[in-house]
Structure 1
Amino acid sequence: MGSRMTFIATGDSFITRRLPSVSSESFRELAGLIGRAEFRFTNLEVTTHRQEGFPFAFSGGTWAMAQPEVLEDLQEYGFNTVAWANNHTMDYAYGGLEATRRYLNQYGFVHAGVGMNLAEASGPVYLDCPSGRVGLVAATSTFHESWAAGEQRPDMPGRPGVNPLRYETTYVLPQEDLACLERISREIPINASYNLDVKEGFAVAVEEGSVRFGTHRFSAGEAAACRTVPKKADKKRILRSISEARRQADYVVVSIHSHEMEGEDKARAAAFFEEMARACIDGGADAVIGHGPHILRGIEIYRNRPIFYSLGNFIFQNETVSRLPADFYEKYSLGHESNVADAFDTRTDHNKKGLGVNPRVWESVVPLWRIEEGKLTELLLYPIELGYGTPRYSRGWPRLSNQVTILEHVQRLSEPYGTTIELEGHVGRVKVG
């Protein structure tokens, strides 16, 4: 292992516009910060192509497409490594996926989490740096079920898609409530199709002691609760990739895109994500980078390794895509005479609701950390702002911030994990070791 390696990471880069200037002070400061690390990561939250694909029937919220040249702008910031397994990977079906993959290769990015089959999507990729080799494994828990990459067989090709981290949800009810639910399920045909599928061999019966109600599974417990755990097959596959990377590189980083939350609190990661992140560290990862909910979540130092449950946004330009499919307009009862400005005005009720009016969406931190002789020795947090309160056509570019309230917010989010963050001027220092 190299004696010293520096890492920097950001959350989502939902980039749909070209970078206005590389000479501005705000850009140079941020690019200079990113350039201090050897491993420089962002999550690519858009497909990059010139309509090589058609819009899928389901999107990640906004059909995300940008011209391939935005990858040049990510390189101008200094990024050399990206994950792109997320809820927008197949917004433009297989054509969009294959084109994005081609352009990422053309621009020389090390990229992970998506492939032409499950082996490629789930396998580690490597970045060779002067101070050592870094392996990256990427997955997403937020995706349409049809987007999961398919496994290759000797007699059948695999399917392009994302590396899936699926999870199982069990709702817990006191025994008397569970008995009531079971009685209702017998009185109405909510399980009719499922019961027939089980009889005809197209579905597997729930384990004994559980009750199925529609698409949900319930079990008995002392108090009402919701439990989520990673799907065993996905957990095993991801850990296997980490094990491979551990033996083929000096360092291993895992990226997980996850919108799922605990209850109705978007700032709290779901229990299955926390379990999986810690399992990744146990399995040999040196860091876990989370992103997805477009806001910050807490930071945990687990076994002297950082887990970032969400780094929020780095670039967020979801309302300046140039085109949208008919499905988007139809959802809001808009016709062919409407355009993208009409669509976003309608969705946000003229900027009165949605992500644009949530100030937490437009602030984040950029962590810079150092590993020396196999130990985490330093973790610094640099706050950024993305232009909250400005028009949608101009907001979304990051700049370093002097707002200590951003760091204080991360402090509060990280306290439940036992993480201490000290403020040193406009920089946060996480207590390690």
Structure 2
Amino acid sequence: MTKKIKITATGDSMLLRKFPVDYNHAEIKNIIEKGNIKLTNLEMVLTEGNVFASTFCGGEWISSDLVNFDELMKYGFNMYACSNNHSMDYSYGGLIETYNYLSKKRVAFAGIGKSLIEATKPTYYTYINELNQKVRVAMISLTTTFIDAARAGDANDFFQARPGINTVRNNSIYYVNQDEMAILKQIAKKTEINGERDNARKNGTLPPEEPGTFNFGGIFFKLSEQQGKLTECNKFDLQRIIDSIKEAKKCADYVIVMAHSHQIKHSDYTEPDYFFEELCRKCIDEGACCVIGSGTHQLKPIEIYQGKPIFYSLGNFIFESHHVEKLPIDFWDKYNFDRLLKIDEMENILSKNGTVGLEFDEINYLSYIPYMEYENDKLSKLYLYPIELTFNGDLIHKGLPVRASQANINRIYTQLVNISQDYGTKLCLKDKFIEIII
């Protein structure tokens, strides 16, 4: 039987307070509600504050009061991706409190867990569509950007499992010519940057280096006539994601992958890294109906691969890092601030009075909500509804999504055309939305 499905999704949700009383969330909710399946990336730790801060963070320690999740739910989301670079900002306690709270709310979420198995496994949502068909959808959440201590782990006969997030590691090799390689080896010899690692390999506590590579302080180089970088997915992690998709395909009519990634090919944030392209395409090959990316706050390309969409990043949906009210002492120490300074005073210093930083770059406040229709696992319609996050001069509403102005609709359209052209994606600007030509 042909089963129809409608999907809407957003990028990163970083909601740190209740809605202002005059904020009209309904206009955005109306777009999201076009979908049967409505997804977002939950980029914050949900906690009442009785947790320990990690020594690392995803840029800044991001936590939100539990009650703020009720505000996020007002948009109508029914599936939540939780694996990202902020998931472990408040260590195991913050992750477990988030996990327990979402479980208590009985919402479909994935990407975090009390073990690697749990963090990797799909979450499911079942609904009845307009044709009175029961449709079951699976969602897998993963991140490629993380601190190693955030990785979930499994149990064995000796130790219990480790809580954490669903991660995909990658391997990077940099290609240099003979002259450059000679210089690297000369520097390594003079500085003894590899001394500790060389001894560890002699003692068998580190695996041998890959043949033909040179390890310079933990970064691997290879000889090549053409200089550059190559990245590829960690084979163990990639296979684990493949297995999760296969598991989901047995139990669901559709499988969605939500993927968070900050890595880039070169120096432009709009370029997804090589290994991330590999990962997203492999997910489609194995049966995912779409891959919905997020990560570096800006929009990235759209690719129609094997007839299925890959959104390499939707950017932000809610971006309220400027409303952080609670931070661990590590934040003061990270920037060598006087501990008597208030948070807003430190933020002013870091942003040079609001002239630099993610929160002050308008490009991070432009996004869209994709609307997809499928019939029997085949994409039949794909529209993009441009949105903008309030930006200029309005601190009360800053970072909250509204319908994009016509000027910003044109701007988003032009940007997507430019960054997606190398993938062969064809876009058509309509009145208030953008159509992807399938």
Bucket of the pairwise TM-score, normalised by the shorter protein: over 0.9
Q: 1:13: which partner in 2?
A: 13
* In 2, Cα distance between equivalents of 1:332 and 1:316: 22
Distance 1:336 1:176 in 2: 48
How far apart in 1 are the matches of 2:56 and 2:237? 23
Contact 1:386 1:398 in 2 (8 A): yes
1:148 corresponds to: 151
User: Is the CA contact 1:119–1:152 (under 8 Å) kept in the aligned structure 2?
Assistant: no
Work out which of the residue numbers 80, 93, 96 in structure 2 matches 1:95: 93
Distance in 1 (alpha carbons) for counterparts of 2:275 and 2:125: 29
**For the residues of structure 2 that align with 1:19 and 1:106, how far apart are their CA atoms?**
23
Structure 1 residue ranges (4+ consecutive) displaced by more than 4 angstroms after TM superposition: none
Give the letter for the 2:73 counterpart.
Answer: Q
The AA in structure 2 aligned to 1:400 is R
Q: Which position in structure 1 is the counterpart of 2:295? A: 292
Alpha-carbon contact 1:320-1:392 (below 8 Å) kept: no
Calculate the TM-score normalised by the size of structure 1: 0.97
Is the partner of 1:184 in helix, strand or coil?
helix
Give the whole-Å Cα distance in 2 for the aligned partners of 1:103 and 1:203.
Answer: 40
Alignment of 1:90-239 (within 5 A): 90-131=88-129, 132-239=135-242
TM-score using structure 2 length: 0.95
- For 1:392 and 1:331, locate their aligned partners in 2 and report how far apart those are by CA, in whole Å: 26
CA shift, 1:392, in A, is: 4.3
Number of matched residues?
430
Structure 2 letter corresponding to 1:45: E
Deviation at 1:125, TM superposition (A): 1.1
Amino acid in the other structure paired with 1:16: L
Q: Deviations for 1:376-428, whole angstroms, at most 9, x for unmatched residues?
A: 00000011111122344530100011332112211211111100010111200
User: 2 CA distance for matches of 1:80 and 1:297?
Assistant: 25
- 1:417 matched to 2:423? The reply is yes
What is the CA-CA distance between 1:350 and the residue it aligns to? Answer: 1.1
Q: Is the alpha carbon distance of 1:204 and 1:55 closer, same or farther for their aligned partners in structure 2, counting shifts above 3 Å?
A: same
2:311 counterpart letter in structure 1: F
**Paired residue for 2:274, among 248, 271, 275?**
271
1:103 maps to a residue whose letter is Y
Alpha-carbon distance in 1 for matches of 2:415, 2:234:
32
Aligned AA for 1:118?
L
Give the match for residue 430 of structure 1.
436
Partner of 1:309: 312
Question: Among 57, 73, 77, which residue is 2:55 paired with?
Answer: 57
Q: Percent identity?
A: 35
The one-letter amino acid paired with 2:399 is G
Q: CA offsets per residue over residues 356-386 of structure 1, 9 Å max, x none? A: 2211101101101000122100000011111
Indicate the residue corresponding to 1:386 in structure 2.
389
**2: distance between equivalents of 1:9 and 1:68?**
22
The 8 Å contact of residues 332 and 346 in structure 1, kept in 2 or not, is answered as no
- The AA in structure 1 aligned to 2:430 is E
| Residue from 246, 249, 255 that aligns with 2:249 | 246
Tell me the distance in 2 between the aligned counterparts of 1:40 and 1:119: 25
Unpaired stretches in structure 1, ≥5 consecutive residues: none
